[in-house]
Structure 1
């Protein structure tokens, strides 16, 4: 079985064909807040998110640049979307700003489409896991340790019951 064909995959993922004037071929994208945002605008939104997170933490550009091992002008270009970052650099920025990739990209990600019929139990489990993780992220270290210890103690009793 070869899997989905292109059109089936596009439909399954909720993608739409977009003719990008900067490309010789179409691309397939999802809507964000009801519209399809071109990649340059998306780069700008990422840069604005980066700047907002840094200013929320009251950290100067110069300090972030030093922690990243780049010149302040280079980091400034990241926040203005005039220079693009590598994935490795972006992950390093997440470390310096103490944010997870999930937290950073949450405003840019649409909910995943519902899965084919037959996966409803998996969907319910996935939703429960996601909700639990959201709650766990809000706990302080002491409370998180207590929950961890409880789950670890329960594990031998729950294996095989899923």
Structure 2
């Protein structure tokens, strides 16, 4: 099976073709708060979220910088988006601020407008998935391992059901 073509994938994900002034070719994005936000604006939102989380914890920039092994000026540039972090550095920031990636990005995801009627099943599935993940995050290691083993045991039956009776296709 070759998989989805570009147009099918774009449609499946609900992406829109946009022109990014920093690129010489089109890119595909999803709406946030009903509009497409350019990548620079998204960098600024991430920087603001970082700053808000630090101040909510009543931590000085100098202290966070020290915990990250950075100069204060370097860390300050992250909070203004004048310098961008690597993914590894961002994960380190999450450790220092005691936050998960899901918690950090949750406001960006939650602000998305509701799915259209045509995607109501997909929206319901996404909501169920989100709620399930929330419950899983609260489990201790033993309970999480039990749920994991149960899901693995159920997987072959789910795949067979999808193949055999015309049930919804698995995500590509």
> Taking structure 2 as the reference length, what is the TM-score of the superposition?
0.72
5+ residue gaps, structure 2: 159-172
After TM superposition, list the pairs within 5 Å mapping 1:65-104 onto structure 2: 65-104=65-104
Counterpart of 1:27 in structure 2 is 27
> Taking structure 1 as the reference length, what is the TM-score of the superposition?
0.76
Task: Please state how far the C-alpha of 1:134 moved relative to its aligned partner.
Answer: 2.0
Deviations 1:32-69 (A, max 9, x none): 01000000000000000000000001111000000000
Deviations 1:72-113 (A, max 9, x none): 000000000000000000000000000000111112224897
**Is 1:148 matched with 2:143?**
yes
After alignment, is 126-135 or 61-70 more displaced?
126-135
For the residues of structure 1 that align with 2:9 and 2:141, how far apart are their CA atoms? 43
For the residues of structure 1 that align with 2:26 and 2:103, how far apart are their CA atoms? 30
Distance 1:18 1:145, change over 3 A: closer
For the residues of structure 2 that align with 1:9 and 1:146, how far apart are their CA atoms? 36
Residue correspondences, number: 149
Let me know the Cα RMSD of the aligned residues: 3.3
Distance 1:113 1:13, change over 3 A: farther
Moved over 6 A (4+): 111-114
CA contact (8 A) 1:13 1:113 kept: no
Secondary structure of the 1:134 match is: helix
Task: Please state how far the C-alpha of 1:5 moved relative to its aligned partner.
Answer: 1.1
CA contact (8 A) 2:32 2:113 kept: no
